[in-house]
Amino acid sequence: MAEKPHPLYSPKNLLLAELNLLAEQGRDPKILDEYRREIAEMSADQVDVDHYWPQLAQLPPVADWPYIEPDDYAGILATLAEPQGFAMAQPDALFDKLHGGVLGRCAGMMLGKPLEGLATAANVRRYLEHGNAYPLTNYAPRLNHQPDDVVFNPIFNHWDHATLGNITQVVQDDDIEYIIAAFHILKTYGPDFTTADVAQFWLSHFAYDRVYTAEHIVYKNLVNGLPATQAAHYRNPYREWIGAQIRTDVYGYVCPGQPRRAAELAYRDAALSHTGNGIYGGMWVAAMVAAAYVLDSPADVIRAGLAEIPPQSRFHEAISDVLAWWEMESDWEETLRLIQQKHGIYYRADVGFNWVQTIPNAGLVALGLLYGDKDFGKSIGIAVMGGWDTDCTGATVGSVVGVMNGAAALPCQWADPLNNTLESYIPGYNRMKISDLAEGIYNLMS
């Protein structure tokens, strides 16, 4: 008997997910609702993907759709102003800052790890309040019981070894494995690596069942013979989810003070599995990390990253909104409410996994950076308390603030429990020192 696909990858659910994405991309909601009703009423055996997918691909945006969101790098570049000029990073501070980024990414991921799958900020808050840990000031507690008012996602292991008092190292997580992947790609292929090189790394180092959503679809497409330049576009309804945004920090680590260069490297990686705003998330993070070496203000770092993103995109608008709200509002929870209110289309309880869409999670990254104001624990805590993809947002914020402050300034309560050790399932990198990974990346710095 053939094994049943995970619900995320069943033909019926892929089509329904594509309809959700097309709604986000401005297709006519009435037409989409007709398709949704028709497909929802079918049994899994009745759904003919070959019939529906070409039809959906032909649907145009509504006439008043205001966004311009190119996928190709030349098209992206054509929307941007000339690159910003930055002062050179101080050579004697480079390693400490890079090490701070890697260590900060690990700590931020570990903070968010046991809360992943709780999805909403309200659900995260209830969990933490049961552990007397709201607002967050340390790693999340392990609860000895499952409270009735906390909704747990059964898909996720809640990772006891990432909870306060139980941490002995950085546990296996794709947010960390993707920075190992980027390091290996740069070390193997050099700064002129191609998207096809990224694909080759995936096929030779990643297991099919250990990559998720867009990456899972693309892995299958690659195995089935699609070229790397087409794999993101074929029946991949998760192409604007968060996967690319968690893969690209290393391209910023190796480009201190060069956000445009970092964003271009990130593009080559992100384009394997993502399109549009999914790509922009990866470019933004890499550019912010590069700028974090030389800028003192989180707002300036965010703006430097945003300068590498098409200005008429939904991504650019979303982050610009957070910057504007921050300038008017001193309470991070009120700004969180505004993020939730404006970008609620990206989370729907009936389909669950939409909380891993790129745009709203990027908003939470900006939230943590702005209201944390370089305080490491406060920054990652705010991002994680915002809910949605908690390990991803915590990791990204930790990375950026870690570069800004350096490893020497990272508070011991966050660094010491990690014991300078991370685990990974990637061959050749199964167990390694965090400092060794940072040193390896440092040796690739351009």
The pLDDT, as a whole number, for residue 152 is 87
Same domain, 174 and 316: yes
Q: Are 370 and 302 in contact (CB under 8 A)?
A: yes
Same domain, 174 and 40: no
Same domain, 176 and 268: yes
- Residue 28 is given by DSSP the state -
Taking 50 as the threshold, does the pLDDT of residue 2 lie above it? no
Residue 144 lies inside a defined structural domain of this protein: no
Task: Give the number of domains in the chain.
Answer: 2
Integer-rounded Cα Rg, in Å, for the chain is 21
Taking 50 as the threshold, does the pLDDT of residue 351 lie above it? no
Residue 255 lies inside a defined structural domain of this protein: yes
The pLDDT, as a whole number, for residue 354 is 72
Same domain, 318 and 373: yes
Question: 10: which 2 tokens?
Answer: 């069943």
Residue 253 lies inside a defined structural domain of this protein: yes
Indicate the burial class of 444 (C-beta count within 10 angstroms; 0-12, 13-18, 19 or more). Answer: middle
- Measure the CA–CA gap between 321 and 106, rounded to whole angstroms: 28
The pLDDT, as a whole number, for residue 89 is 86
pLDDT bucket at 214, cuts 50 / 70 / 90: very high
Averaged pLDDT score across all residues of the chain = 95
Same domain, 176 and 310: yes
Residue 37 lies inside a defined structural domain of this protein: yes
The CATH number given to whatever domain includes residue 410 is 1.10.4080.10
46 lies in which domain range? 7-57
Taking 90 as the threshold, does the pLDDT of residue 156 lie above it? no
The pLDDT, as a whole number, for residue 143 is 93
Residue 233 lies inside a defined structural domain of this protein: no
- Residue 86 is given by DSSP the state -
The pLDDT, as a whole number, for residue 154 is 72
On whether the pTM is more than 0.85, the answer is yes
The pLDDT, as a whole number, for residue 440 is 99
Same domain, 278 and 419: yes
- What residues contact residue 392 under an 8 Å CB cut-off, 6+ apart? 109, 112, 175, 242, 245, 246, 356, 361
Select from 21, 15, 18, 13 the least CA-distant residue to 358: 21
Same domain, 265 and 390: yes
Query: Each residue of 122-150: pLDDT tens digit?
Result: 999 999 999 999 999 999 999 988 899 99
Residue 98 lies inside a defined structural domain of this protein: yes
The pLDDT, as a whole number, for residue 254 is 98
The pLDDT, as a whole number, for residue 88 is 86
- Residue 375 is given by DSSP the state -
Cis check for the bond before 135: say yes or no (omega within 30 of 0): yes
Q: Name the percent of the chain lying above pLDDT 70.
A: 96
Q: Are strands 421-423 and 431-433 parallel, antiparallel or unpaired?
A: antiparallel
Count CB-CB contacts under 10 A for residue 153: 14
Q: Are 256 and 273 in contact (CB under 8 A)?
A: no
The pLDDT, as a whole number, for residue 355 is 85
Taking 60 as the threshold, does the pLDDT of residue 347 lie above it? no
Query: Could you give the residue ranges of the DSSP H alpha helices within 41-115?
Result: 49-57, 73-78, 94-112
Query: Each residue of 55-97: pLDDT tens digit?
Result: 999 999 999 999 999 999 999 999 999 998 898 888 999 999 9
Q: Name the percent of the chain lying above pLDDT 90.
A: 89
Same domain, 175 and 52: no
C-alpha distance from residue 392 to each of 181, 431, 442 (Å):
16, 21, 23
Same domain, 389 and 430: yes
Same domain, 94 and 180: yes
Residue 351 lies inside a defined structural domain of this protein: yes
The pLDDT, as a whole number, for residue 5 is 64
Same domain, 80 and 53: no
Taking 90 as the threshold, does the pLDDT of residue 446 lie above it? no
The number of residues in the chain equals: 446
- Measure the CA–CA gap between 83 and 249, rounded to whole angstroms: 19
Taking 50 as the threshold, does the pLDDT of residue 352 lie above it? no
- Measure the CA–CA gap between 158 and 173, rounded to whole angstroms: 12
Taking 70 as the threshold, does the pLDDT of residue 345 lie above it? no
The pLDDT, as a whole number, for residue 87 is 86
Select from 215, 212, 181 the least CA-distant residue to 198: 181
Query: Each residue of 190-208: pLDDT tens digit?
Result: 999 999 999 999 999 999 9
Same domain, 80 and 38: no
Taking 60 as the threshold, does the pLDDT of residue 3 lie above it? no
Indicate the burial class of 441 (C-beta count within 10 angstroms; 0-12, 13-18, 19 or more). Answer: buried
Count CB-CB contacts under 10 A for residue 46: 9
Longest dimension (CA), the chain: 64
Query: Each residue of 229-287: pLDDT tens digit?
Result: 999 999 999 999 999 999 999 999 999 999 999 999 999 999 999 999 999 999 999 99
Query: Each residue of 304-336: pLDDT tens digit?
Result: 999 999 999 999 999 999 999 999 999 999 999
